[in-house]
Amino acid sequence: MISHKPTPVLYSQYKETLQKIADVKTAYAVLQWDQETYLPPKGAEGRGRQMATLSEIAHNMGTAIDLGDLLNELNSRDDLAAINKKNVSLSLEEYNKIRRFSPAFVRQMSETVSKSYHAWIDARRKNDFNYFEPQLQQLVELKKQEADILGYEQHPYNALLNEYEKGANVQMLDKIFSDIKSPLQELFIELQRLPQADTSFLHQFFPKDQQWKWGQEIARILGFDFSSGRQDIAEHPFSTSFNTSDVRITTRIDENDFANMTWSTIHEVGHALYEQGLPPEEYGLPVGEYASLSVHESQSRLWENCVCRGLPFWKYYFPLLKTYFPDQFKNIEVVQFVQAINKIAPSLIRTESDELTYHFHVMIRYELEKKLIGGELPVKDIPAYWNQEYKSLLGVNVPDDNNGCLQDVHWSHGSFGYFATYSLGSFYAAQFWKQAQLEIPQMMQKIENEGDTGVLLGWLRKKVHPHGKFYTSEELCKQITGSGLESKVFVDYLRQKMVSLNIGA
Amino acid sequence: MISHKPTPVLYSQYKETLQKIADVKTAYAVLQWDQETYLPPKGAEGRGRQMATLSEIAHNMGTAIDLGDLLNELNSRDDLAAINKKNVSLSLEEYNKIRRFSPAFVRQMSETVSKSYHAWIDARRKNDFNYFEPQLQQLVELKKQEADILGYEQHPYNALLNEYEKGANVQMLDKIFSDIKSPLQELFIELQRLPQADTSFLHQFFPKDQQWKWGQEIARILGFDFSSGRQDIAEHPFSTSFNTSDVRITTRIDENDFANMTWSTIHEVGHALYEQGLPPEEYGLPVGEYASLSVHESQSRLWENCVCRGLPFWKYYFPLLKTYFPDQFKNIEVVQFVQAINKIAPSLIRTESDELTYHFHVMIRYELEKKLIGGELPVKDIPAYWNQEYKSLLGVNVPDDNNGCLQDVHWSHGSFGYFATYSLGSFYAAQFWKQAQLEIPQMMQKIENEGDTGVLLGWLRKKVHPHGKFYTSEELCKQITGSGLESKVFVDYLRQKMVSLNIGA
């Protein structure tokens, strides 16, 4: 009888089961990594088979009755240490959630997603949303069903938001975005009075091999541990982690755009540093995983924007960069360089946008998804809605669907409720950045004079990384900064940087 | 009731199960490939975990009671097509075999192998067999138990031989090796009358990048399909296959040895061409797999030795090779080149030996293993036995254990009975090569005048590759050449080549 077994015995059994499930899931992640980096073209079909089978196995293991009994029993015990208790309760929550979905629903979702992805590819090729619409329609209906199965209060979109960011809901996000919208718009107007940065020198020819070497160099500088990870080339940059000792990032190289590879590498390194800093002894258990998508994004944005778009960092490292590209940066001063990499300008494409207008892109998607899932916006009206919002919020005319509502892959993957975490991540990043400066008075000097960002990494390795999922985003933020998310900190950070750099929009 | 279901329904069920098991096994193979090519150093432990879990899952799937019932029922049906019948009967055989091993035995074997491998590494580092001996002792005992579990007639070594080469046994191999020993020794003496080849020019500096490009070129020339496979660098060259559309080879590059990378690439391409040519519709089923290790080796040896150590091939391709290494081969004639790559000389290391003396290396290992498993040779006496046999058969003095009985990794992996398949592969290769020349009279001219080896590949793609495991090695050989293995063909082939090239030993 399970109820007679001592708690440590049951906990070991639980841990062993969860770690085996993790082995299968991370094996899946290896197959996926290989798919994006080295898979020969004709290998795609076989890879699909392998991944579907591993995914089915992991699902079966994660929904086994025995596991449920074990989790319920352990959850009723009162002699578990705090971390173990948290692991068990989060695992039970996850177990109960995935048990709600019938195999038939899971299969239908997976098939619909697969078809939607192909429809999206087709629509992109034809630059016409109409080719995506019927599949997207089906997918949205299915996501509404998913929301019903998951359960929600007030708004069905809450159920989906919660999938990516625990505790997130429409009420909270409406407030965050409405709080920040006007300040960002005001800042934008304010910055229009300042001179615009010249970015032309970033678009000279930067040879591939040299960029690759420079990318490895900057990853090393920021503390990416190449003995516990690697970097490769992929079409779309991403980071993935199999365990804390095997964290991989990818990048792509555009020889006519210096910023592309460099900041995508820094962004992925930020994610990877987090993964390399999670507690290895909690492998496969909730506390061994990242807190939330927004906290993950806070780590990438912190390095990408706060550190590596800052003047102090480049005061130290610009001379090193010049050794990689002596001709390209011959007549460029460090301030010019930092002005260029911070240029603010409304644009059509989210992933190419600047630190300020980025959030307008997110807000449009957030509102659109909310209306879509809430049934206020029919799928067929997406392009018109999209174009109108881009005109109104960013002041740009959307010329076609590829530069409009077809630009992101997320919906075709069935990801509704994801985009908001990108903004939350930036806001948390600004708060962590401010706090780090307060707690480590010598930090900015260390960065500027010695190029030493290790002091920040050390701080994150104490404050953020080792806690895994023990705290929610908000709990973590309070624990570190004394208060929950405050988007104002982000606006202040941005204003101060742009004004001190004298850069306009 | 399973017995009421129509055969096609049961067969589909069987196929689906087997293919899912294959998905897990090939996922394991991807993890292994990654481990040998790109795994960051600290990722080894986590990778070990993942692989152990997948291996356990595959074992559980492969020994499930339901599968046994299904196989037994299908095996009793008489309305299966010949290929399907063969699949079922081979699957049932495999099922019954792995069911014989208790989970405890499997675990003990896997742990002992793991310890043995580490002990071997340690012994290699210390160049002292004594550090390997205690673990090897345990492993040999366990392999004897394995032989008992598998069951055998006459000699326990038969059970182990049969694991690598179905139907192989001591009686048959004793005869094959005794048949060929004297002819090979006589040929060796005969060749001593001819002048020795000069190989010094193969040991100039051959830059890494240029060798890499050349390796890709020769793989393409031989017909390796890079859209269904790839080549990477690894410490030990190998080939692996996840399905016919994803077959991968690896190589290593020694900048001071031209032959090393080139012939290891050709060898692995030979294996890979076979895998790329197996019947894709039989994925995961026995008939979708290679016939046997010896047939696999026949494919690598055929390309490595018969084709790519032949004068006709280089008459066409030597000018192309010269464009890759113009300085290194400036004053070298094609005949000199082919003489050099065929040089015969007794040596200490199997993997570096020539086409003739290679088989003496195998014979020594075969006899040694037979005595070891038969209980006639104690583990502690291996070095003395080894050194004495090398002196007697190859005429070389073994200076130390690394150059002697510690040179191969096989035993530390628990592989006893494997080496013989290397020789069988060479012998089959010579027979296939002779047969192809008979059946395609224009083949040698095509190779010499047009560099067209596709005609041979086409022949193999009809005669060997598409049959998978439908025939045993001997059945396949009879079907193709009209008779079973005849080692004399190999001796004739070798004599003719060496004499016509005027190369001595």
% of chain B residues with pLDDT over 70:
100
Facing A23 at nearest CB: one of B20, B42, B50: B50
DSSP A42: G
Mean pLDDT computed over B465-469: 98
Residues of B in contact with A41 (CB under 8 A): 227-228
Residue type, B442: Q
DSSP A405: T
> Which residue intervals of B375-486 are DSSP H helices?
382-389, 420-439, 443-445, 454-463, 473-481
Task: Kindly tell me if the per-residue pLDDT of B22 is higher than 80.
Answer: yes
Residues of A in contact with B54 (CB under 8 A): 23-24, 27
> What chain B residue is nearest to A16 in terms of C-alpha separation?
B53
Facing B40 at nearest CB: one of A38, A39, A230: A230
% of chain A residues with pLDDT over 90:
92
Q: What is the pLDDT of residue A106?
A: 87
Query: Measured between CB atoms, does A321 come within 8 Å of chain B?
Result: no
Q: What b-and-e string marks burial along A295-310, b requiring 16 or more CB atoms within 10 Å of the CB?
A: bbbbbbbbbbbbbbbb
Task: Kindly tell me if the per-residue pLDDT of B117 is higher than 80.
Answer: yes
Query: Measured between CB atoms, does B228 come within 8 Å of chain A?
Result: yes
Q: Could you write out the three-class secondary structure of B227-255?
A: HHEEEEECCCCCEEEEECCEEEEEECCCC
Task: Kindly tell me if the per-residue pLDDT of A136 is higher than 90.
Answer: yes
Q: What is the pLDDT of residue B446?
A: 97
Residue type, B45: E
What is the spatial distance between Cα B206 and Cα B234, in angstroms, rounded to a whole number?
18
Determine, for residues B228 and A34 on separate chains, whether the beta-carbon distance falls below 8 Å. Answer: no
What is the spatial distance between Cα B466 and Cα B460, in angstroms, rounded to a whole number?
9
Q: What confidence category does residue B110 fall into, taking pLDDT thresholds of 50, 70 and 90? A: confident
Span B337-372, pLDDT tens digits: 999 999 999 999 998 899 999 999 999 999 999 999
Q: What is the pLDDT of residue B401?
A: 97
Span A318-328, pLDDT tens digits: 999 999 999 99
Q: HSE-up of A386 (CA within 13 Å, CB side)? A: 26
Mean pLDDT computed over B499-504: 86
Mean pLDDT computed over A283-300: 98
Mean pLDDT computed over A289-297: 98
Mean pLDDT computed over B411-433: 97
Span B363-400, pLDDT tens digits: 999 999 999 999 999 999 999 999 999 999 999 999 99
Q: What is the pLDDT of residue A180?
A: 97
Shortest CA gap A42–chain B (Å)? 5
Determine, for residues B23 and A50 on separate chains, whether the beta-carbon distance falls below 8 Å. Answer: yes
Mean pLDDT computed over A37-66: 94
The angle that helices B82-99 and B44-62 make with each other, rounded to 10 degrees, is 110
Span B423-434, pLDDT tens digits: 999 999 999 999
Facing B54 at nearest CB: one of A27, A47, A228: A27
- Interface with chain A: mutation pick from B30, B34, B216, B250, highest number of A CBs within 10 Å: B30
Query: Measured between CB atoms, does A40 come within 8 Å of chain B?
Result: yes
Span B119-165, pLDDT tens digits: 999 999 999 999 999 999 999 999 999 999 999 999 999 999 999 99
Q: What is the pLDDT of residue A503?
A: 83
Task: Kindly tell me if the per-residue pLDDT of B257 is higher than 90.
Answer: yes
Q: What confidence category does residue B111 fall into, taking pLDDT thresholds of 50, 70 and 90? A: confident
DSSP A195: P
CB atoms within 10 A of CB B211: 22
Determine, for residues B27 and A23 on separate chains, whether the beta-carbon distance falls below 8 Å. Answer: no
Residues of B in contact with A224 (CB under 8 A): none
The distance from CA A482 to its chain's CA centroid, rounded to whole angstroms, is 24
Q: What is the pLDDT of residue B107?
A: 83
Residues of B in contact with A47 (CB under 8 A): 242, 246
Q: What is the pLDDT of residue B198?
A: 93
Q: pTM of the prediction? A: 0.94
Strands (E), B192-319: 229-233, 239-243, 246-251
**Two tokens, residue B478:** 């009879």
Task: Kindly tell me if the per-residue pLDDT of B114 is higher than 90.
Answer: no
% of chain B residues with pLDDT over 90:
92
Shortest CA gap A16–chain B (Å)? 11
Average pLDDT, chain B: 96
Determine, for residues B50 and A38 on separate chains, whether the beta-carbon distance falls below 8 Å. Answer: no
Cβ-in-10-Å burial (0-12, 13-18, 19+) of A82 comes to exposed
- Interface with chain A: mutation pick from B50, B56, B250, highest number of A CBs within 10 Å: B50
The angle that helices A44-62 and B7-37 make with each other, rounded to 10 degrees, is 100
Residue type, A84: N
Determine, for residues A26 and B50 on separate chains, whether the beta-carbon distance falls below 8 Å. Answer: yes
Residue type, A198: D
Determine, for residues A23 and B53 on separate chains, whether the beta-carbon distance falls below 8 Å. Answer: yes
Q: What is the pLDDT of residue A3?
A: 85
Q: What is the pLDDT of residue A325?
A: 98
Task: Kindly tell me if the per-residue pLDDT of A459 is higher than 80.
Answer: yes
Q: What confidence category does residue B90 fall into, taking pLDDT thresholds of 50, 70 and 90? A: very high
- CB A464, CB A274: distance < 8 Å: yes
Mean pLDDT computed over B37-51: 93
Closest CA to A370 of A382, A387, A383, A353: A382
Highest mean pLDDT among A98-102, A106-110, A127-131: A127-131
Active site residues per annotation of A: 268
